[in-house]
Chains A and B, each alone.
Chain A
Amino acid sequence: MNVFKKEMKANIKSLIIWCCAQVFIIFAGMMKYQGFSDSQVDVNALFAAFPEEIMVVFGLGSVDITKVAGFYSVFFLYFMLLAAVHAVMFGAVEVSKEERDHCADFIYTKPVRRFQVIWPKLLAGVVNILIFNMVTFAASVFFIAQHNDGDGLIDKVSLTMLALFILQLFFLALGALFGSLLKNTKQATATASGLVMGFFILSVVVDLYDKLAFLKVFTPFKYFEGASLMINDQLSFSSAAILLIVSLIFFGLTFLAFNRRDLTT
């Protein structure tokens, strides 16, 4: 419990900053929706004139963005990116930071096993990503309601947030695994953020070239689609199951790898 409390305290500032940024993005994004719906321009016709590549990169695939649910579904891509970076960094830093700050000697010479230090740290991670998720949820419902005659689309947003949380868990586990396997925090965060970037690029490539659609399974960003969550109210069960199982495996490997680690000063 002492480790959990300390780690929550240590991360509170950065969590507040992440949450503020997220609230601002949702606020600003929904302001744009206001702009669209006020301007009376046929936005769908306008966007149809854009090259497909551009639309794909910005996540404007095939949804009707003149409807608030359709417009909001485009956010999902940005949420995934932000949440992925937040979670993967958290995992990578949290597991390896004692060695970075040269205080591994302090905590790992206490009468505790290594997993007794690592698991409260990961629990703090889960609580952090959950708070980030809840703030995203609350801000979404609030700002959607403002542009949708008071209806915040709670059901649809809840489903979207559930998908987001599963992805956050996956990235937290991935980050933690890098933190326990790689030599130091710097390598872990660099590799982790590089991989997030790679996943994103792959998700764009898959959208652009139908022939490469089979590569979908290799990028978590393609496991859930904003449109099917927000419009069809569907969350892919198999995607959720795969991501959760892989996350569990990664968490397990993190414990194993960290246990075998030679800690440096």
Chain B
Amino acid sequence: MNVIEINQLTKYYGKHRGIENVSFSVEEGEIFGFIGPNGAGKSTTIRALLSLIHPTSGSATIFGKDCIKYGSEIRRDIGYLPSEVFYYEHMKVREVLNYSASFYDNVDTSRIQSLAEVMDLDLNKRIDDLSYGNKKKVGIIQGLLHEPKLIILDEPTGGLDPLMQQKFFELIRTENQNGATVLFSSHILSEVQKLCGRVAIIKDGTIVRVENIRDMQKHNYKKFTLDYRGVIDVHHFNLEGVTNLTVDESTLHFLFKGDINRMVERLQGQNLMNMLVEEPSLEEIFMHYYQKEDQP
């Protein structure tokens, strides 16, 4: 069964494009990634699902019900973590969470305590005294408190330190194992790869494709930056899998896709000052993979 079904969803803000003909569906029990660069339309799609905004055309259903018409009913079983978390500043953490809980029937409020312990959050602090990361934790607890059947996460990891991210991912996995479906939006590919089974890729307001994460990993690009001591031998890296090779004074940049051992071999004997191997940004991947493939 599909928990989310989005059908030709379009949103214009005046003349400004939000999203155009977005369609994809999320099956029950999966962790579905929603990935695209900033401003591609991820939040717009999510906000339409939550009926915070009204779509210009198209429709979406959650649990089989139209998400504008039956919004309040559907939201009983949705936990949502916005990308930017803000709460009533003059309230204490505990007050905000209790206030949040008061909107749902039969919430087990002891979960406030246990989730706060997992996330290492002080419930007696005032919201305006919290750091960005701690506010995010309030958001996470607030989103998971009522044991939702569908968890919607919009860029959830910003502001969390790596240890917290780890704990957060574990929490999400546990909720998923207990039956929750997850829609996870992000602009960081590695994050999505860690957690998700399938992904929808959005760019400039339209869905580029929906893929299995395993297929995506075949296109596992790494971004290399090499600082040379001496003269750069560009032709040395003329091998299969290397793209976007650029030279910038004594620095060489390129993307590499393929067996990493071949690259390690090739790097031997190079007179380097420094070397950086990174996850390429989504934009870079889009530019060098999707554009090429979309052309006949």
Interface residues of A (CB under 8 A from B): 2, 6, 10, 101-106, 108-113, 116, 260, 262-263, 265
Contact = CB atoms under 8 A, between A and B. Distances in A.
B86 A109 contact: no
A110 B84 CA distance: 17
Given A105-B82, A262-B13, A262-B52, 18 more contacts: A2-B103, A103-B88, A104-B52, A105-B80, A106-B82, A108-B50, A109-B52, A109-B80, A111-B72, A111-B74, A111-B75, A112-B72, A112-B103, A113-B71, A262-B53, A262-B54, A265-B82, A265-B84
B78 interface: yes
Contacts of A111: 72-76, 103-104
Contacts of B72: 111-113, 116
B141 to A, nearest CB: 13
B100 A106 contact: yes
A262 B14 CA distance: 11
B53 A263 contact: yes
21 contacts: A2-B103, A6-B99, A102-B84, A103-B87, A103-B88, A105-B80, A106-B82, A106-B142, A109-B75, A109-B80, A110-B100, A111-B72, A111-B73, A111-B74, A111-B75, A111-B76, A112-B75, A113-B71, A113-B72, A260-B54, A262-B52
Contacts of B80: 105, 109
Given A105-B80, A112-B103, A113-B72, A10 B88 contact: yes
Interface of B: 13, 43, 47, 50, 52-54, 71-76, 78, 80, 82, 84, 86-90, 99-100, 102-104, 142
Contacts of B103: 2, 110-112
Contact of B102 (A2, A101, A103, A105): A2
Contact of B88 (A2, A101, A263): A101
Contacts of B88: 6, 10, 101, 103
Q: Most chain-A CB neighbours within 10 Å: which of B43, B73, B86, B104?
A: B86
Contacts of B90: 10
Contacts of A2: 99, 102-103
